[in-house]
Amino acid sequence: MLQMIFVSALLALLFLPLQLEWYKAPFFRKWLIPRFFIGLAYGMGLFYLGLLDQSISAIIVSYLPIIGIGLMIDNSLVFSIKKTFRKRPALVGAGTGFILLLAFALFWIMQPLFLADAKFNIAGGEEVTVEELSPVNEQNIPVVPPNFARYRSDILMGQLDNPAFYDLGKTRIQRVNDSLYWITPIEYDGFFRWYRSNAAPGYIMVSAENPREEPELVLTDMIYVPSGFFHENLERHVRMAFPDVLMLDTTFEIDGEGNPYYIVSYGHYTEFRRVAEVDGIIIVDPQTGDMEQYAKEDAPEWVNRIYPPHIAAERNLWFGIYKQGIVNRFFGREGLTEPTQWGIEDSVVGVVNRELQLSWFTDHMRLQGEGTISQSMVGFTTFDARTGELHYFRDASGMLNGRTAMNLAERTFVRDDYVAGTPSLYNIYGQYTWVVPLMDRNSVLRQIMLVNGSSESVFGHGETKREAFSAYQLALSTRVDENVVPGEITDLVEITATVERVYKWDREDNVTVRLLIEGYDRIFTVNASAYPRAVFIEPGDEITISFMDTGEEVQAIEELDF
């Protein structure tokens, strides 16, 4: 705090006039002290209220216009009030201020035109193939959208002693031990609620994998939170201890034991405050205010994200539009792409790999002209939330983009008026597959839909994850041609065994046959449209089947002979 006051006082001297006549006349001198205090208030507003980093570039951007405006006003006032002051020095002083402001404005406007290569290089995209996108365990694929997680969290707020005192903070997905959860901190609902409360009451956990798992309200006092005021405001608490760092993002996470922490990603600007680079994180204990600073490569393993989503979003954009420089961006447009506009709040979405490590995902479409909408993607990217590595999967070119998958899901349930949530792309059963949650107008999760990236006619949906995956597996086994498989399908297992029981499900347009087979503790399914003779299978028949052994309870048959 003392450093902040000292820096603000020192920079307040720039609010004093550079025109020497102000120091000679009593009329002008009486305004020197008020101007100094105005400068002091300006500095405290920037650094204490605005939490601006006390770096050289921040000081130049914030105070250089003040000098230019001061020169123009001071020289004009002296010339208009003091009759003995000549016109020439007034014009020189005011002109210097005007030129300073003009030069700064031109620099600020023109500089981005020369940063295309720097932005493309810092994005650092690496082109990879589907082999880099390993299949994810069905159990760990998140299907619960954040809106539904907040809906369930809001219901739990009623268990608090004074629920009107509090509001939900930002909801973020994270790995907790071996599962994925949406974690939402409970924040103060305004200044007076903060004043009357001793601490924020805790946080809420909602499973991101299982929509039927009950949410949990964890009560633990938290004093230093983003919605606090004065010394209890989290970012201000960090700024007091680290006045020079650029605070990029604040997120709430818990460790493996459920202890709450706020993670502040910090870094610095390059290219004169145009390009942000992440240096590490500051972990804050909201109960005690204790802080630990880590370089990004030394961050604890339980921390899910170091790079915030807005950094991932802007680097995806730079990677797509700045290939081959600024001239190609506006004229040649060779090989340019842009992230698909999903029409929802999230420009990137969190996805996980087999080890549940978080990455920011978005798909890319060709660079569009105004008024045109692409239905397919030219590739997609994953941006590692801990390392900042951007991988571009070009072999998904020509497949459905996220916007199209959302439209298909909403059209399928047009009578129910369901709204599609943020889509995410996974390698499921060797196929690029969109996972699209569907909610009603109250943000209640109603359906989970899986859409094949190669064909919008191949999809499955259900009220539970198991139903959705079983329906999708069945659709794959009967309707996807081998030529559209983007990745290597799991090896087929062939068995010959005796049928124990048979169940025939007569649907509107087809018959699904479900079998129990001796020696196998699972249900095998086959569609009669693919194998018409399957409707004649009876208990005791010996059959030969081939299937993808995914280990699921309901297994789709790929090939059948009896």
Label each residue of 276-341 as H, E or C.
EEEEEEEEECCCCCCEEEEEHHHCCCCCCCCCCHHHHHHHHHHHHHCCCHHHHHHHHCCCCEEECC
Identify the pLDDT of residue 2.
Answer: 83
Residue 140 carries which side chain, given as an amino acid letter?
Answer: N
The rounded distance, in Å, linking the Cα atoms of 555 and 546 is 10
Residue 548 carries which side chain, given as an amino acid letter?
Answer: M
pTM of the predicted model as reported, rounded to 2 decimal places: 0.82
> Could you tell me if 224 and 252 are in contact, meaning their C-beta atoms sit under 8 angstroms apart?
no
Q: How far apart are the first and last CA of the chain?
A: 82
> Could you tell me if 365 and 337 are in contact, meaning their C-beta atoms sit under 8 angstroms apart?
yes
Residue whose token pair is 């990879």? 128
Query: Residue 291 corresponds to which tokens in the numbers above?
Result: 């802080």
> Could you tell me if 364 and 379 are in contact, meaning their C-beta atoms sit under 8 angstroms apart?
yes
Identify the pLDDT of residue 262.
Answer: 97
> Could you tell me if 143 and 211 are in contact, meaning their C-beta atoms sit under 8 angstroms apart?
yes
Which residues of the chain fall short of a pLDDT of 70?
83-84, 130-135, 342-346, 368-375, 477-491, 507-510, 550-551
Identify the pLDDT of residue 398.
Answer: 79
Helix axes 2-12, 32-44, angle to 10 degrees: 140
Identify the pLDDT of residue 488.
Answer: 41
Q: What is the pLDDT of residues 210-254, one digit of tens each?
A: 888 999 999 999 999 999 999 999 999 999 999 999 999 999 999
Query: Residue 536 corresponds to which tokens in the numbers above?
Result: 């004649």
Identify the pLDDT of residue 413.
Answer: 93
Identify the pLDDT of residue 480.
Answer: 47
Q: Which residues contact 469 (CB under 8 A, 6 or more apart)?
A: 138, 428, 450, 460, 462, 552
Query: Residue 240 corresponds to which tokens in the numbers above?
Result: 């007091």
Identify the pLDDT of residue 427.
Answer: 82
The rounded distance, in Å, linking the Cα atoms of 278 and 270 is 11
Domain 492-561 has CATH 2.40.170.20: no
